[in-house]
Structure 1
Amino acid sequence: MTGTELLMNVTPQESRVALVENGVLTELHIERARQRGIVGNIYKGRVVRVLPGMDAAFVEIGRDRTAFLHASDVISRNEDEGRGSEAIRDLLHEGQELLVQVTKDPMGSKGARLTTYITVPARHLVLMPNQNNVGVSTRIEDDAMRARLREQVEALRDELAPQHGFIVRTAAELADHEALGTDTAFLKKIWDSLQEAARSAPAGTEVYADLPLVQRILRDMVGVDLERVRIDSRETYQKIVDFSRRYLPELTERIEHYPGERPIFDLFNIDEEIQRALERKVELKSGGYLIFDQTEAMTTVDINTGGFVGHRKLEETIFKTNLEAAQAIGRQLRLRNLGGIIIIDFIDMQDDEHKRQVIRALEKALERDHVKTQICDVSPLGLVEMTRKRTRDSLEHQLCEPCPTCGGRGYLKTAETVCYELFREILREVRQYDARELRVLASQSVIDLLLDEESASLAELQSFVGIPIRFQVETLYTQEQFDVVFV
């Protein structure tokens, strides 16, 4: 056993699934009833706008925002043409209706990302409608087994679904011919019913929804040696057992109902780990630390030695800190579900062998990551560039919203800066309007500074404008807010 288990905390409002490896939380999946993800769902869409300049189109799928479909994700009319070789205006036109599948959830101000290369997964196989090839998962490395599985699935396809293609999943490694045949017939039946529903459905209708989170996680944990699965909802436990008996029979005996009075996530202090995963700073055992910053374009990770001074020379201290950081970054990327471009600023190393070992440590830390990653070597500037496929929002974006005080900037103007802005505003207003008195409404910190350290400047300003200035503390104002009122 690997010491890997799934903990499922299920309520009517929210489902949370934690992947714990050797007692440490490494992944967290959250699905809320009001904000359920739509990756994998299939819709009957309608093209509302074609954008030749972006080689893409916007498609109405019945959601709040139109979804995005790039030309490279549209099946070509000419099978001899390579994927993405035709211009969008040759593939689609406004008002056209078509079946599309969501590959990325809506994120921020962006709509969902779509493809017309539709896939429908089952336990051992993935159906690729109207395609004629059979592929085998790269995780099945034995050449003889790959050849056997390809031959079996090609025979089943010719017999049951000759017009479709299939991908053989990693789970099929131990599947017999009967199990593969069951999956082939099951997927063909799903696709036929899906097409039937799509024919009569209006544009903007969902015609196929992926499984709920708890079943989907089990299905996608193919190849993971789970020691056990614990669920704190008896109703969900029964659903998972029924699902497992049908699709994952080898896992059924390891599924348990957790009846304890203590919350299931308290078993491994998971809620505390979630709180730490929302903070910028991650402490390392050595005394060093990491700083994570998410921006619209990328995520940056900075490594610092902090209080770690080591026992030998500086280069050795830096190397050990970077090695520990590489392992921590691998875990944090999974836990925080950070995707897109990621730039890691390791502490500068002079030894090329040290650089190689740090990169290897990062690769090893990401080996168990189910999401595709790509890592580049250390750049001339000492940075490591990598990508991690992004299909859903990060943990921070799922659980948090921008600060209403700073608007997500992460900082506020100082009280001194606001005082000087206020002075300029008073001068601007006095030149435009006649008034007997000015009243300044601002936060406590700004008014305290005006009446104390800036009192001489305030007296000089009041003498210059020639009218009295009164002050009023507004407790609901942030430090940056103020108003100048004429009386």
Structure 2
Amino acid sequence: MSRIVAVEDAIGETRVALADNGRIVELHIERWSEAGLRARAGALYLGRIRTIDARLNAAFVDLGVGEAGFLPFGRAGRPAGLHEGAALPVRVTREAHAGKGPTLAREEGEYSGSAPRLIEDAAPLAERVSARFQDAEARWADEVRIDIAEAIDEALSREVAIPGGGRLIIEPTAALTAIDVDLAGRTGQGGAERIAADLNRSAAREAARQIRLRGLGGVIAIDFVHMQGRKDRLGVEQVLKAAVKHDPARIDIAPISPFGIVELARQRTGRSLAELLNGADGQPSDETLALNAIRRLESEGRSDRRRQLTLKVAPAIAAWLEAEPIAWREALTERIGPRFAVQTVDTWSRDRFDVSSK
């Protein structure tokens, strides 16, 4: 198995995973609830310049949706004739994240009509991911052995197993993401120094995968198990550099310290998976939990096509479903028929749900 772009078109969201030799290395999700509310990467807008900031050598451009976009002028500086209030075509090169607006690039061409407005929307998510990997084969997730839900759970977990033994402990903070390499009872041939070096090389490869899988950006510090030998430290650094070579984001890696700590800076390409799926408290959002419940309801409906189904959920999730921020009832009716109901269980925790039939 080489590279596969697996697509899962669920109610409420589209999930796309890039798998390399059977292991998922990238995850991308687009939600129905954000359609028309966020500027997608690749979309073309006729924007209107809101502010020009000479100190930043850039302009902030109103797109008519979401936060104002950031348009850097580059080395050539501010183009002649460009002023506040002017309309100009721009393409989104990076989506908004962490309270910052999208990054834009100026486009050539003449466009009439009101501004700001959308001229050309981004291509579907699966096409955008596939376009970056010319050798990847696009497949529906249920046609291949690719478990996107399991990969999402892994990408949101604090601890991840290292192949061969050991674990990574991944802790995002406001300033950086810290990744600690833990021996966790790993054994092997040779002395402690040999075991540490073998663990750290495996950890470097898995850390590179987790960084890419989670969509992490900014400064990342990896604390490897201590190695006394400089040759071993440099060997781990080289393994890490080789492991991030195929990452589409730009990554700069600082030399490993005598204490076995490597700092790297990864280009932000958008929101991390956790920023998309979790709330401000770091827990899955009501929308995430509601869509998980709908997915289970649809799965049960497809496996049993005759019985009436009841989805039992906690009050907060029932409120989200009742508000219908997306037309999920209509979409689910088209897929399994109008044979389902939602029941609230007041005593249940927010993340608990169940589907029963009769």
Instruction: Give the TM-score, by structure 2 length.
Output: 0.70
Q: CA deviation at 1:311?
A: 4.3
Q: CA deviation at 1:338?
A: 1.4
Cα pair 1:58 1:68 within 8 Å, conserved: yes
- Structure-1 residue corresponding to 2:3: 4
2:49 equivalent to 1:47: yes
- Structure-2 residue corresponding to 1:230: 139
Match of 2:186 among 293, 297, 308: 308
Q: Distance in 1 between matches of 2:81 and 2:192?
A: 60
Q: Distance in 1 between matches of 2:21 and 2:269?
A: 26
Identity %: 34
Higher RCO (Cα < 8 Å, 6 or more apart): 2
Q: Distance in 1 between matches of 2:218 and 2:86?
A: 31
Q: Distance in 1 between matches of 2:248 and 2:98?
A: 24
Match of 2:277 among 384, 396, 399: 399
Kindly report which structure 2 residues correspond to 1:7-406, keeping only aligned pairs within 5 A, or say none: 7-11=6-10, 13-35=12-34, 38-72=40-74, 83-84=75-76, 86=77, 92-116=82-106, 118=107, 129=108, 195=109, 198=111, 200-222=112-134, 224=135, 226=136, 228-231=137-140, 263=142, 267-380=145-258, 382-403=260-281
Q: Distance in 1 between matches of 2:52 and 2:128?
A: 34
Cα pair 2:160 2:169 within 8 Å, conserved: yes
* Cα root mean square deviation, aligned: 2.9
**1:295–1:115 distance in 2 versus 1, CA, 3 Å:** farther
Q: CA deviation at 1:300?
A: 2.1
Q: Distance in 1 between matches of 2:118 and 2:55?
A: 29
Secondary structure at the aligned position of 1:107 is classed as coil
Q: CA deviation digits over 1:405-453, x for unaligned, max 9?
A: 9xxxxxxxxxxxxxxxxxxxxxxxxxxxxxxxxxxxxxxxxxxxxxxxx
Instruction: Give the TM-score, by structure 1 length.
Output: 0.53
Q: Distance in 2 between matches of 1:358 and 1:390?
A: 24
Q: CA deviation digits over 1:80-136, x for unaligned, max 9?
A: xxx25x3x59774322222222222111211112222x4xxxxxxxxxx5xxxxxxx
| Structure 1 consecutive aligned stretches of length 4 or more whose deviation exceeds 6 Å | none
**1:404–1:218 distance in 2 versus 1, CA, 3 Å:** closer
Q: CA deviation at 1:276?
A: 1.6
* Matched AA of 1:30: I
* Matched AA of 1:40: G
- Structure-2 residue corresponding to 1:257: none
Could you tell me which runs of 5 or more consecutive residues in structure 2 were left unpaired when the two chains were aligned.
284-346, 348-358
Cα pair 1:340 1:388 within 8 Å, conserved: yes
Could you tell me which runs of 5 or more consecutive residues in structure 1 were left unpaired when the two chains were aligned.
73-82, 119-128, 130-194, 233-262, 406-474, 476-487
Cα pair 2:5 2:129 within 8 Å, conserved: no
Q: Distance in 1 between matches of 2:125 and 2:203?
A: 31
**1:307–1:381 distance in 2 versus 1, CA, 3 Å:** closer
* Matched AA of 1:290: L
